[in-house]
Amino acid sequence: MIFPIYRRPGGVVFLDDDPAYLEMLAEVMPEHWPVRLFTRPSECINYLQQEPPELEADSWRHQEILDRWHSGQGLIAQILQYWREAGCWRFGLAQVCVVDYSMPAMNGLQVLEELATWPGARVLLTGRADEQIAVQAFNSALIEQYVPKQASEISRRLTTSIQRLLDEPWGLQAQTWRASLSREQMAVITAPPIARQLKVLADTLRWVEHVVIGDPFGVLGLDDAGQATWLHLEHESRLDDLADLAACGGLSGADLDDIRAGRSLFDGEFQVAIGSDRSGLVTAIPLGHGMLAALTKVPGDLNPGPDQSFARFLHDRGTRPIDDATPLRSAFAHT
């Protein structure tokens, strides 16, 4: 169990020469997946090949946020700004592509060879007779997974396989964001019990995108409706320092005792980061291993809001048409 440093929804692209099969796949794949369906290999390849530059540009924006942090700008405000401005087409960038092996024009592995520069995960759909080919492709690292088409409960198998691949961290971005974390902070979020707790929290809050940052230490998460939340992380050993900080912020008496006892955390750092002066106490949630967490909602206008939300993005995509190769960015030009 790992809690990824950076995570957001990714799209799934299916390529199969049989439109009837694709139509049914679209029907059974979970509704919260941005899905694209292709029957022609060339269109699928073209579509996926226009993605790496977009992804590159997006990663560059992340890098810029960290560069500005090095020169003194806070991370939280910058990330919230990125979420408000980046455009929700980013949710549709394909993270997994599922290709049928036996197609008339070119076989699935040939398609994947053409996609050498595309960074996402690859799944091969096979008939029973092609299983040997799939095993070879897997062993030579051409594919991440293969699923036999006639397996019983094919949709469940496909869904779990793809979900696992979607849950994998975004490599490039995770690298970028790691830079803001100290070694101790990394150790905290990679400890399995804490990672598990964080995952549960992220799921209950319906987060679709989140970033773990080190300054201040915590997780900034965005739910599917466009509401952002700050998850403050603090170690017990630093509660006295936090109480001192709270005292400076005008708290006193019983409040400071609550902080020292680990019953509450003080959210001053976060409020300063978003330019607010309404700091106060937040109930602490014990995560185990001496770690405490506390949740603060990001107020009003600072949120991307429903118009820039993942739910809106899915709604705007509507049904799942076949062979729709419109580039992501232009399809969501209005956002």
Partner 1 sequence: MNGAPFKNWISYNATARQLREEVLHAPLESILHPSLLRLRWLGAFTLIGHPLFYWIWHYWLPQPYENLWVRCTISALGGLLMLNWFIAEPSQPRTQHLFNAICFIQLPLFFSWMYVMNDRNAVWIASLAAGVLVYFHLTDWRIAAAGSIAGFLLGGAMAMAMAPTADVQPATHLVVLGFGWFAGLMLGISGANLRRERLNHSLATIGIMAHELRTPLSTAGLIADALLIEARRQPEAPRAGKLEKLGQRLSALTRSMNHHIDMQIANARLLQLAQYNDRISARELVADAVAAYPYRSTREAECVEVIVHRDFIFRGARTQFSGVLDNMIQNALRSLQASGSFVSPGDLRIEVGSRGAEGRITISDRGIGIDPAALQRVFEPFFSSDHGTGHGLGLAFCRRVVVAAKGSLRVKSEPAAGAVFTIALPVDSPDNHSDEKENPE
- Binding residues (CB under 8 A) for partner 1: these are 18, 20-21, 24-25, 27-28, 127-129, 149-150, 152-156
* Token pair listed for 133: 């080919």
Residues facing residue 318 across a β-bridge? none
Q: Is 153 or 277 the residue whose CB approaches partner 1 more closely?
A: 153
Q: Is 152 or 252 the residue whose CB approaches partner 1 more closely?
A: 152
Q: Is 12 or 198 the residue whose CB approaches partner 1 more closely?
A: 12
Distance of alpha carbon 32 from alpha carbon 258, whole angstroms: 41
Contact 108, 100 (CB under 8 A): yes
Closest distance to partner 1 from the beta carbon of 14 (Å)? 12
Distance of alpha carbon 254 from alpha carbon 243, whole angstroms: 11
Name which of 24, 31, 19 is nearest 324 in CA terms. Answer: 19
Full strand arrangement of the beta sheet holding 121-126: 35-38, 11-15, 94-100, 121-126, 145-148
Name which of 58, 48, 53 is nearest 122 in CA terms. Answer: 48
Distance of alpha carbon 100 from alpha carbon 126, whole angstroms: 6
Closest distance to partner 1 from the beta carbon of 286 (Å)? 37
Closest distance to partner 1 from the beta carbon of 20 (Å)? 5
CA dihedral 108, 110, 116, 122 (to 10 degrees): 10
Closest distance to partner 1 from the beta carbon of 19 (Å)? 10
Closest distance to partner 1 from the beta carbon of 28 (Å)? 5
Termini Cα distance of the chain:
35
Contact 101, 125 (CB under 8 A): yes
Q: Is 58 or 130 the residue whose CB approaches partner 1 more closely?
A: 130
Closest distance to partner 1 from the beta carbon of 147 (Å)? 11
Contact 45, 325 (CB under 8 A): no
Closest distance to partner 1 from the beta carbon of 131 (Å)? 9
Q: Is 27 or 203 the residue whose CB approaches partner 1 more closely?
A: 27
Write out the DSSP string of 141-182.
TS-SEEEETT-TTHHHHHHHHHHHHHTS--HHHHHHHHTT--
Closest distance to partner 1 from the beta carbon of 313 (Å)? 22
* Token pair listed for 277: 């002066």
Q: Is 84 or 157 the residue whose CB approaches partner 1 more closely?
A: 157
Q: Is 20 or 141 the residue whose CB approaches partner 1 more closely?
A: 20
Distance of alpha carbon 211 from alpha carbon 180, whole angstroms: 11
Q: Is 133 or 211 the residue whose CB approaches partner 1 more closely?
A: 133
